[in-house]
Amino acid sequence: MLKLSAVFPIHSTNRGISDVFFSVCKEWQGPELKARMVVPSCDRECRGPNVVEAIPSFLTKLYYRSPSLPIIKTEKRFLKDFKDFDLAYLWPGISLDFVKRVNKQNKPIVLERVNSYQSESKRILDDAYSRLGLEPQHNVTPENIQDEKEKLKLIDFLFCPSPIVAKSFQEVGVPEEKLLVTTEGWWPDRFPNYQSQKPPQDEVNVLFLGFACVRKGVHLLLKAWELAGIKGTLTIFGAMEPAIAQTCSHWLKRPDVVQFDYAVDYSFAYRKADFFAFPSLEEGSALVIYEAMGHGLPILTSPMGGGGVVRDGIDGIILDPYDTDAWVEGLRKLSNSPDLRAQMGASARKRALELTWPQVAARRKEQILQKMKIK
């Protein structure tokens, strides 16, 4: 049996990206692979026999006064007994010095990548903000890029959540044999009120769910929505980036555009929607895509947004995010055809049921085991 030690360097919950970490690792508890998870701290519902919290609960307030202290403490706890494990599974946010110290143990290192190679992310985002006449508002710096470049020299394998992410690393010289192309996943039991049939309505409800920001192309969706002239509502569900509020205020004031702040229970937003629109410019593999498909929603998205999961013409429609005419046509096509929505929605639901976390984790486990045999 392979013993894997995994590290996630920020406070962990059962939502967002830390939920990906736990969803994968908690499934790796079998006769072939067993994972131990090291985190600085976590919510009560994340705790378990294979979870190690590096910071004692009575000291969390003290440690979190500094952004770096929880990471330092977590890395130190990981290294304390790494000699008892066979391989390391590292997540973004850990320091370069830590990766160097793990590398000196001469054991395989698997690194998780959430998004594309950072120089590619920077190029895409710089261009997006420039088109809006704004200074770039992201945290990808030359120092971040160099840090990632150095880490890539030290690791053995890289989990890439989509083919586009994998391609971004291939293009900067990462050998193909290092890249483990995978997906993200979802938990159907968190959405128990799924409805396979929806009563017909005179107007459609088009949903965008997530952080409403330039990176996710919300401004492009708003522009296409105005031009499409559809009888219905565009629902934007999630916190809004100031850049979107500033540059899109005229669209956001339209009576057929509504915006809700993020809520922990957002399943009702999926249930009320007729299809999901997601023109993301820079992405790994968005968790909301899996959830929307799981709710039987057709997907109108970009290649980045689709994340290698949405099948064009089967589960939805994939379009260049900057092709406004194509987005207008796509919005109209799905809005005007209940039969097409039903057909694509059924395919999306079936596809999503193949991408639950137990299935995704099992496939990732096989990738690791296969690489360990080769190595």
pLDDT in tens, 205-219: 999 999 999 999 999
Q: Which residues contact 56 (CB under 8 A, 6 or more apart)?
A: none
- Residue ranges in the chain whose pLDDT is less than 50: none
Alpha-carbon gap, residue 53 to 118, rounded angstroms: 29
Q: Do domains 2-185+356-374 and 188-352 have the same CATH topology?
A: yes
CA nearest neighbour of 4 among 75, 72, 78: 78
What ranges make up the beta strands (E) of the chain?
2-7, 33-39, 51-53, 87-90, 109-112, 157-160, 179-181, 204-209, 232-237, 257-260, 275-278, 299-301, 316-318
Residue 310, CA distances (Å) to 30, 34, 108, 121, 259 in order: 31, 31, 32, 21, 25
Q: What is the pLDDT of residue 261?
A: 87
CATH number for the segment(s) 2-185+356-374: 3.40.50.2000
Q: What is the pLDDT of residue 332?
A: 98
Q: What is the pLDDT of residue 126?
A: 98
Q: What is the pLDDT of residue 100?
A: 98
Q: What is the pLDDT of residue 104?
A: 97
Alpha-carbon gap, residue 375 to 106, rounded angstroms: 12
Q: What is the pLDDT of residue 265?
A: 80
Per domain, the residue ranges of the chain are 2-185+356-374, 188-352
The one-letter code for the residue type at 265 is D
Superfamily (CATH H level) for 188-352: Glycogen Phosphorylase B; (3.40.50.2000)
Which strands form 257-260's sheet, in the order they lie side by side?
257-260, 232-237, 204-209, 275-278, 299-301, 316-318
- CB of 89 closer than 8 Å to CB of 5: yes
Q: What is the pLDDT of residue 250?
A: 96
Q: What is the pLDDT of residue 357?
A: 98
CA 116 to chain centre: 11
pLDDT in tens, 73-117: 999 999 999 999 999 999 999 999 999 999 999 999 999 999 999
Residue 311, CA distances (Å) to 79, 207, 235, 300, 330 in order: 42, 19, 24, 11, 15
- CB of 27 closer than 8 Å to CB of 358: yes
- CB of 257 closer than 8 Å to CB of 240: no
